[in-house]
């Protein structure tokens, strides 16, 4: 595996790979890799396994993982400085997963002095996470479009763990006619239900236990809709919230029952429904979600 730190080198590698008919599978991350990330890498490796037959002399397809803690998606009071970073371990994990290139550019290589261009997906980017973290999705969309232009993947992999991000990525790719297929992979969880996240590393043991409330609450919301046929979004939101506030170490940011496509929040539970939560567990902000089909309101 090669570690690539410069934008122009990554561009050169991608140009060469495409020129020789090889496919490029890409997993963008902020590092501190865990099994959730690695599940995306494994899917990417599955896709990019066979050399293209029709090109004489073609080498194998390639998997690129990027690790970049993107300054433009953090607000001034957020955890950019303290976000977990461990590039040596990330590189070891990538080697074990058969990654070909680990792209970890320097911030000044991506956003040099005088940088001025941003990508904003209107509407979808200003609710839920976007309401709590103004500018967050503008930063995400900008960095992902830059990474797409540098890496030029045929396929890129994102996690359902960040459901709103996945939705916005789809919208951006469609709206900007980007020539890349997106794959959205399911959320990987620990045995106690807690969604894997780089930020979990910052929880102390008591907070780690308290963090189980998020999935417990979501699971309760899911069964209210899927098994009990509850139709009032607000009722579901209240019960989810009650489970969260019952934990003394948990402070709720938002609980939302939303349409899984539009993120609108109708009073009746939508047919394809996203239940999303964001909560502080001690000093660490976590997000999680589940998708539920409403049997009483088929989409």
Query: Could you list the residues that contact ligand AMP (CB under 6 A)?
Result: 29-30, 36-37, 39-40, 158-159, 161-162, 185, 187-188, 195-198
Closer to ligand AMP by Cβ: residue 173 or 269? 173
Closest CA to 214 of 236, 186, 195: 195
List strands edge to edge, sheet with 101-103: 2-4, 101-103, 62-67, 24-29, 155-159, 181-185
> Integer distance in angstroms from the first to the last C-alpha of the chain?
45
Minimum distance, C-beta of residue 231 to ligand AMP, in the bound complex (Å) = 30
d(CA 197, CA 79): 14
- Choosing from 8, 34, 37, 154, which is the catalytic residue? 37
Closer to ligand AMP by Cβ: residue 29 or 294? 29
* Contact call for residues 60 and 51 (beta carbons, < 8 A): yes
Minimum distance, C-beta of residue 35 to ligand AMP, in the bound complex (Å) = 7
Minimum distance, C-beta of residue 237 to ligand AMP, in the bound complex (Å) = 23
Closer to ligand AMP by Cβ: residue 173 or 230? 173
d(CA 138, CA 287): 18
8 as an active site residue: the answer is no
Closer to ligand AMP by Cβ: residue 162 or 237? 162
Phi/psi for 72 (5° steps) reads -75, -5
Task: Give the count of alpha carbons within 13 A of 287, CB side only.
Answer: 17
Minimum distance, C-beta of residue 168 to ligand AMP, in the bound complex (Å) = 11
Residue position matching structure tokens 């999680």: 288
Minimum distance, C-beta of residue 19 to ligand AMP, in the bound complex (Å) = 28
Closer to ligand AMP by Cβ: residue 104 or 236? 104
Reduced to 3 states (helix: H, G, I; strand: E, B; else coil), residue 229 is coil
Structure tokens at 83: 């976000």
Active site residues: 37
């Amino acid at each position: 595996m090669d570690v690539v730190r410069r934008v122009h080198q990554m561009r050169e590698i991608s140009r060469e790979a495409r020129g020789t008919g090889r496919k490029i599978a890409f997993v963008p991350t902020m590092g501190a890799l865990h099994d959730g990330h690695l599940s995306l890498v494994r899917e990417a490796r599955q896709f990019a396994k066979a050399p293209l037959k029709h090109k004489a002399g073609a080498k194998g397809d390639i998997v690129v993982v990027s690790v970049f803690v993107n300054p433009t998606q953090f607000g001034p009071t957020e955890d950019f400085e303290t976000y977990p970073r461990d590039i040596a371990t990330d590189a070891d994990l990538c080697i074990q997963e058969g990654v070909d290139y680990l792209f970890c550019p320097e911030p000044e290589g991506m956003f040099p002095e005088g940088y001025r261009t941003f990508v904003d997906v209107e509407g979808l980017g200003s609710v839920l996470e976007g309401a709590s973290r103004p500018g967050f999705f503008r930063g995400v969309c900008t960095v992902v479009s830059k990474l797409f232009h540098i890496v030029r993947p045929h396929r890129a992999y994102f996690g359902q763990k960040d459901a709103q991000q996945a939705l916005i990525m789809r919208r951006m790719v469609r709206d900007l006619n980007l020539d890349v297929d997106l794959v959205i992979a399911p959320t990987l969880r620990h045995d106690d239900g807690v969604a894997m996240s780089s930020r979990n590393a910052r929880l102390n043991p008591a907070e780690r236990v308290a963090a189980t409330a998020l999935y417990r609450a979501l699971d309760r919301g899911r069964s209210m809709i899927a098994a009990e046929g509850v139709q009032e979004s607000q009722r579901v939101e209240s019960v989810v919230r009650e489970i969260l506030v019952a934990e003394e170490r948990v402070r709720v940011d938002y609980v939302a029952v939303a349409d899984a496509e539009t993120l609108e929040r109708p009073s009746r539970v939508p047919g394809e429904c996203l239940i999303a939560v964001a909560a502080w567990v001690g000093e660490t902000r976590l997000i999680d979600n589940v998708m539920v089909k409403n049997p009483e309101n088929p989409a």
